[in-house]
Amino acid sequence: MAATTQAAPAATTTARVLSLDIARGITMALMIMVNNNGAAAYHPFTHSAWNGWTPTDLVFPCFVFIVGMSIVLSFDKRLERGASKGAMVVSILRRTVILFALGLVVNGYPHFPWATLRIYGVLQRIALCYLVAGLFYLWRRDAASKVVAVVVLLVGYWILMRYVPVPGAGVPTKNIPLLDPNQNWVAWLDRKLLPGRLYEGVRDPEGLLSTFPAIGTALLGVLAGIWLRSEKTRRQITAGFLAGGVVLIALGELWNLSFPINKKLWTSSYVLFTAGCSLLLVGILYWLMDVKGWRKPFQQPWIVFGTNAIFAYMLSELLASTLWNVHVHGNEMLWTWIYQPCFSHIYPAGVGSLLYSIAFAAVCWLVTYPLWRRRIFLRI
C-alpha cells in the first residue's frame, strides 16, 4: 500500500474515464452518508429490513459494479504498456490481501477483540469480488465467458436458495418460508464457519455464499467495461448503457416476483436490478461528462472521493468508530457530545439526521481534498 503522486486523470478510454471517477465519487459519498446517519434517518437513507429495497441498498452494489468496470480499463492499460500476466496476477493477489486486511482493521478498531472479531465486511467482499473478476478477466478478456459465468452464478444461487433443503429446517416454500431470515443456506453456512463472529449474531449481510452472486455484480461491471472499450462511438456506448440498464432493471423486477430482491442475501434478482441502476447512473454520467463535456463545476465535489475512494472509506469508518468509542465528560460518547447540541434539536428529526450525514461526509471530503490537490492517491 502506498500513496503515489501522478498527473491529473485523463478522460479517455485508454486511461481514466472521468464519468467513472465521478460515479465512484458519488457512490462513495452516499456510502459514507448512509453509514453515518443521525438518530432518526429518513427511510430512504436506511437499509431495507429484509426483502425489498431502498435507495441505500443500491450504493454498495454500485461500487462493486464500478470495480468490475475499472478492472477492464486498468488491466487493458497495463497490458498495453507491456505488463506481464504473471506480474499482474501477483498484483491482484497483493491488492486482495491488503483490501481484506483493511476490512479487518475497520471491523476491529479501536479494541480489536480477536476472539470475536468479525471476518466478513464491505472491504472483504470487494476484495473477493476483485480477486475473482480480475483473475477471470486476465485469463479470458472476451464478453461471452463473462455472460456464461453470470448466468451460472445467478441461476445456481437461485436453485440453491429456492430448492435445496436447508439442514435441520427443510425445503424452502415447503417446510420453511422462502428466504427465511434465519433458516437459509447463507445464514446456516456462516453459523457453521464463523460462530460468534457474525454482524447480526446468527447471520451476516456479507456472508460467504452471498459473495458468489456479488461476484456476478462485478462481472456485469466487467461486461460494461468491455462495452466501453469496444469500437463503438460514444453515442452508441451511451445508448448501450442506458438500454442495458433498463433491461436489467426489468429482468430484476421480473425475477423479484419469485426470488425477492434482498440486499442482505444479495439475491439474483437484486444483482440484476442493482446492476441496471448502476448502468443507468454510469450511462447518464458518461453522456454528460465524456460526450457533452459538462465537467466543471459539477465534477469537483465528486472527483475528490472518486480518485481516492479507499482512503475516503477507511477515513469515514475509523472516524465513526472513534466518535463512538471516545468518551468525554465521564461516560458521554464523543458522538453524543457533538450530535446532541448541533443536530438533535432540529425539527423534524429526519432533517437533523440528514444534516449530520452531510456534515460527516463533508469532514471526510475536507480531509481528502488536500490529497487530491497534490495528486496524492492511495494505491494498494
Report the pLDDT averaged over residues 119-142.
Answer: 97
Contact, 353 vs 35, CB < 8 A? no
Contact, 5 vs 17, CB < 8 A? no
How many CB atoms sit inside 10 A of residue 99's CB? 22
Q: Per-residue pLDDT tens for 189-235? A: 999 999 999 999 999 999 999 999 999 999 999 999 999 999 999 99
User: Across the chain, which distance is largest between two alpha carbons, in Å?
Assistant: 64
Report the pLDDT averaged over residues 72-93.
Answer: 95
> Which residues make Cβ contacts (< 8 Å) with residue 165, sequence separation at least 6?
171, 175
Res. 12 pLDDT band, cuts 50 70 90:
very low
Q: Per-residue pLDDT tens for 346-378? A: 989 999 999 999 999 999 999 999 998 888 877
Report the pLDDT averaged over residues 238-265.
Answer: 97
Q: How many residues does the chain have?
A: 380
Percent of the chain with pLDDT over 90: 84
Res. 1 pLDDT band, cuts 50 70 90:
low
- From the list 339, 376, 380, 378, the residue with the least C-alpha distance to 8 is 376
Q: What is the pLDDT of residue 4?
A: 47
| pLDDT above 60 for 2 | no
Question: What is the residue-averaged pLDDT of the chain?
Answer: 92
Peptide bond preceding 165 in cis form (omega within 30 of 0): no
Within the chain, strands assigned E span 2-5, 327-328, 332-333, 376-379
> Cα–Cα distance between 57 and 353 in angstroms, integer?
18
First to last CA, the chain: 4
Q: Per-residue pLDDT tens for 259-317? A: 999 999 999 999 999 999 999 999 999 999 888 887 776 777 899 999 999 999 999 99
